[in-house]
Amino acid sequence: MIRVIALRLIGAIPNLIGVVVVTFLLTRELPGDPAAFFAGAAATPEAVEQIREKLGLNKTLIEQFGLYLFDLARGDFGQSLSTGQPVLTELVQRLPASLELTFFALLLATIIALPLGIMAATRPGSWIDHLCRLITTAGVSLPTFFTGLLLAYVFYFLLGIAPSPLGRLDPVFSPPRPVTGMYLIDSLLAGEGALFRACLAQLILPAITMGVFVLAPLARMTRASMLGVLSSDFIRTARASGLASSTVLYTYAFRNALLPVVTTLGMVFSFLLGSNVLVEKVFAWPGIGSYAIESLTASDYAPIQGFVLTMGVLYVLLNLSIDLIYGLIDPRVGLEA
Amino acid sequence: MSAEIPLLKVENFGLEFRTRSGVVHALEGLNLAIRKGETVGLVGESGSGKSVLSFAMLGISDAAARVTGGSAWFGGLDLLKAGESDLAEIRGREISMIFQNPRTALNPIRRVGAQIEDVLKRHAAVRSADLRARAVEALRSVNIPDPERRYAAYPFELSGGMCQRVMIALALACGPALLIADEPTTGLDVTTQAGIMDLIAERARASGMATLFITHDLALAAEHCDRIIVMHAGHIVEAAPRRELFAAPRHPYTAQLIRATPAAGSLLEGLSAIPGNLPDLRRRDLPSCRFRERCERASSACDAPLPRIDAEALSGVACWHPLAVVAEAA
């Protein structure tokens, strides 16, 4: 098992090298001149040239790439020009915020989507099936920024039961001692109940916003997969053996239906992580999505490269864990393959 | 023999499927009985309703199926009217079923031993500490070599024949009174086929279990059954003890089936295909005899309602122009 994981990680190195090369080249090819951007509109050409030299942008592409690799090898992701902070520090601060939001949203979506899909599959054509169809259609049709604004409007502005949609924690509280960087877990580890509730209150609206969006693919996939499995031969055998309907449904059907659901889960996870910029914007969530967008508009190379590389590593880890989960669910899946 | 109460007695059983393209009149007016310990072959071409009948007996029909009438008495219970919980008690304990394609009939991601244990846990009063031993015992009883090791195998690690043995072990784990074997050897090679058929026969003899053997292979039925029931397009057209049926088939369809079955030493020219196809069972104007349009003996007399075979009769034919009984003398 350990060996398999190690082999897979080694196998991922070429992918990561590819990611490094492509992001480096792409950021350099982006329109916009960071030197001119940071010198400001009133700067003289000499000042711009000075900044360019300071940033090392006057060197050849090869030289710049060599320097970049050298820094990377030392664990230096460079510095953000707009904030002046090391990229690594900022990523380490912001990634847990995005991860926490994404995990929580996925959890919410899964808790609702799987039972909904199962019930819709066991009673096709019933009201629950129609409800499932309605919710999933609504989920994909409503853009996240709209759902987010609507939720904030209703629960914060109108009803006043949600805290102001401004970041991860009400300023009255101070964040928990960082262990994982995820406030929910850290506050639990610190044993602070009130803090946990405050974090949860901030998290719940953006998480619902994202959860509603991924509910649809999950519920649809669960339903379709369950329908397929329920009509298969071994379910007939299980029923012909008189097994209790709960055994047939969960032990026999659901486990077999899980594989496509896990695949979908992995897909929406990576999708959420990289593209929840809109939700992060609406709720002023200090995640990596908004970080990347802000850097992109400022032609700030180092954070963009850092962001893409982080995402690359996350994708590799994600795919690896999905394959491992596959192996756990289905004995026919050889991990070595 | 007629005084004995049959194990399963089906009378005037009808079933239809409601589909988008119309009502399929799948089964109509079926009468049949299975006695304790006997092996009955249910023969007919694909689509004649053999499997539909057996699924209905177990109450595991497709959701679109609707029983239109009749009764199926098993012990003191009418299987067609029994509630789901009563049926679930009977399935796997009193009546078991094995299927074609043993590889797909077993849960692909569950160890075969665990699948047998599921059935034991459900029906047999076995202490959980003894479950494993009982499952291994069930595997041994179907002549699976090295059952302790096979207990932990997944279906994909076993051959098709081995999977069917597991399937039989699973079906017989609780000692049912009736085994429905739905084309149990389809998809297996010939030597494996013989092994599986012998195993079923041997286990049936040992426990006095009755077997309903569903097949489209008349030769296989001839080899293993005491009595044969021939189905065509949702009707039972003929029932007879094996010898009688082969010596003197009375229904034109049976006769054609026998002519279409290759035997040792028969030449290709000697085989004749049965003309036509099964009638479309969605038709509103289905003739009272559903073989009429394929039959060379049909006449206007065939418009009358079909004569039915009495459920408990050992032999009978549902035809107005049956072939002569004297054929045996010839």
Q: Is B38 helix (H, G, I), strand (E, B) or coil?
A: coil
From the candidates B51, B107, B163, B174, which should be mutated to test the interface with A, based on the most A CB atoms within 10 A? B107
CB contact under 8 A, A242 and B107: no
Is residue B2 scored above 60 in pLDDT?
no
With cut-offs at 50, 70 and 90, classify the pLDDT of residue B328: very low
What residues contact residue B322 under an 8 Å CB cut-off, 6+ apart? B250, B251, B252
pLDDT (0 to 100) of residue B170: 93
Give the residue, A20 or B115, on which the prediction is more confident: B115
With cut-offs at 50, 70 and 90, classify the pLDDT of residue A113: very high
Is residue B329 scored above 50 in pLDDT?
no
Measure the CA–CA gap between B16 and A140, rounded to whole angstroms: 40
Measure the CA–CA gap between B54 and B61, rounded to whole angstroms: 9
Distance from CA of B93 to the nearest CA of A (A): 8
Dihedral of CA atoms B266, B270, B271, B274 in degrees, nearest 10, equals -150
Question: Residues B184-214, buried b or exposed e (16+ Cβ, 10 A)?
Answer: bbbbbeeebbebbbebbbebbeeeebbbbbb
Distance from CA of A270 to the nearest CA of B (A): 28
Could you tell me if residue B38 is left (phi over 0), alpha (psi between -120 and 50 degrees) or otherwise beta? beta
Measure the CA–CA gap between B39 and B41, rounded to whole angstroms: 7
**Mean pLDDT across chain B:** 89
Residue A287 phi, psi (nearest 5): -100, -175
CA distance to A225, B35, B197, B205, B226, per residue, from B223 (Å): 42, 19, 10, 15, 9
Query: What average pLDDT does the segment B89-102 reach?
Result: 91
CB contact under 8 A, A242 and B93: yes
CB B234 within 8 A of CB B27: yes
Q: Which two tokens stand for residue A134?
A: 């309605």
Per-residue pLDDT tens over the stretch A52-76? 777 777 778 888 888 888 888 888 8
Q: Which of A216, A211, A209 is nearest to A134 (CA)?
A: A216
DSSP B229-247: EEEETTEEEEEEEHHHHHH
Query: What average pLDDT does the segment A144-148 reach?
Result: 84
Q: Which of B299, B323, B318, B116 is nearest to B232 (CA)?
A: B318
CB B287 within 8 A of CB B276: no
DSSP B186-243: TTS-HHHHHHHHHHHHHHHHHHT-EEEEEES-HHHHHHH-SEEEEEETTEEEEEEEHH
Q: Which of A275, A249, A278, A271 is nearest to A315 (CA)?
A: A271
A254 touching chain B per CB within 8 A: no
CB contact under 8 A, B105 and A237: yes
According to DSSP, the residues that pair with B67 across neighbouring strands are: B15
A123 touching chain B per CB within 8 A: no
Which of B104, B118, B170 faces A232 most closely, judged by CB atoms?
B104
CB contact under 8 A, B92 and A242: yes
B18 touching chain A per CB within 8 A: no
With cut-offs at 50, 70 and 90, classify the pLDDT of residue B215: very high
With cut-offs at 50, 70 and 90, classify the pLDDT of residue B1: very low
Measure the CA–CA gap between B97 and A224, rounded to whole angstroms: 28
B99 touching chain A per CB within 8 A: yes
Q: Which two tokens stand for residue A329?
A: 């669910």
A241 touching chain B per CB within 8 A: yes
Distance from CA of A256 to the nearest CA of B (A): 7
CA A117 to chain centre: 23
pLDDT (0 to 100) of residue A336: 52
A137 touching chain B per CB within 8 A: no
Query: What average pLDDT does the segment A192-204 reach?
Result: 85
Closest residue in B to A326 (Cα) is: B109
Q: Is B80 helix (H, G, I), strand (E, B) or coil?
A: coil
User: Of the spans A271-285, B170-184, B258-272, which averages the highest pLDDT?
Assistant: B170-184
Q: Which two tokens stand for residue B40?
A: 């009955």
pLDDT (0 to 100) of residue B326: 54
A252 touching chain B per CB within 8 A: yes
Helices B50-58, A233-240: crossing angle, 10 deg rounding:
50
The label of the residue with tokens 């329908």 reads A227
Identity at B167, one-letter amino acid code: M
CB contact under 8 A, A238 and B107: yes
Query: What average pLDDT does the segment B202-213 reach?
Result: 93
A329 touching chain B per CB within 8 A: yes
With cut-offs at 50, 70 and 90, classify the pLDDT of residue A196: confident
Measure the CA–CA gap between A210 and A206, rounded to whole angstroms: 6
pLDDT (0 to 100) of residue B12: 93
Which of B89, B104, B171 faces A233 most closely, judged by CB atoms?
B104
Measure the CA–CA gap between A198 and A201, rounded to whole angstroms: 5
CB contact under 8 A, A233 and B101: yes
Is residue B265 scored above 80 in pLDDT?
no
Query: What average pLDDT does the segment A26-42 reach?
Result: 75
CB B303 within 8 A of CB B290: no
CA distance to A113, A220, A266, per residue, from A261 (Å): 10, 9, 9
* Alpha helices per DSSP H over chain A: 2-11, 13-29, 34-39, 45-55, 61-73, 87-122, 127-141, 144-151, 183-189, 193-230, 233-240, 245-246, 255-275, 277-282, 288-297, 301-329
Measure the CA–CA gap between A18 and A269, rounded to whole angstroms: 22
H helix or E strand, kind and range, residue B98 = strand B95-98
Contacting residues of A for B110, CB less than 8 Å apart = 251-252, 255
From the candidates A241, A255, A330, which should be mutated to test the interface with B, based on the most B CB atoms within 10 A? A241
Measure the CA–CA gap between B123 and B171, rounded to whole angstroms: 12
Query: What average pLDDT does the segment A192-203 reach?
Result: 85
Is residue A33 scored above 80 in pLDDT?
no
According to DSSP, the residues that pair with B15 across neighbouring strands are: B27, B67
Q: What ipTM was reported for this prediction?
A: 0.87
Provide the number of CB pairs (under 8 Å) joining chain A to chain B: 80
In chain A, the domains with their CATH numbers are: 35-76 (no CATH), 91-329 (1.10.3720.10)
In chain B, the domains with their CATH numbers are: 8-94+176-329 (3.40.50.300)
B122 touching chain A per CB within 8 A: yes
pLDDT (0 to 100) of residue A73: 83
Per-residue pLDDT tens over the stretch B278-289? 888 888 888 888
A238 touching chain B per CB within 8 A: yes
Closest residue in A to B54 (Cα) is: A240
Which of B60, B89, B109 faces A330 most closely, judged by CB atoms?
B109
Apex A295 CA angle, A292 and A301, nearest 5:
105
Question: Residues A37-53, buried b or exposed e (16+ Cβ, 10 A)?
Answer: bbbeeeeeeeebeebbe
Q: Which two tokens stand for residue A167?
A: 């970041």
Closest residue in B to A251 (Cα) is: B110
CB contact under 8 A, A331 and B101: no
User: In chain A, what is the greatest distance between 2 CA atoms, to the nearest angstrom?
Assistant: 86
With cut-offs at 50, 70 and 90, classify the pLDDT of residue A282: confident
From the candidates A227, A237, A262, which should be mutated to test the interface with B, based on the most B CB atoms within 10 A? A237
Distance from CA of B123 to the nearest CA of A (A): 8
pLDDT (0 to 100) of residue A202: 85
What does chain B come to in residues?
Answer: 330
In this structure, what DSSP letter does residue A287 have? -
**Over B285-305, what HEC string results?**
CCCCCCCHHHCCCCCHHHHCC
Contacting residues of B for A256, CB less than 8 Å apart = 107-109
**Mean pLDDT across chain A:** 85
Identity at A198, one-letter amino acid code: A
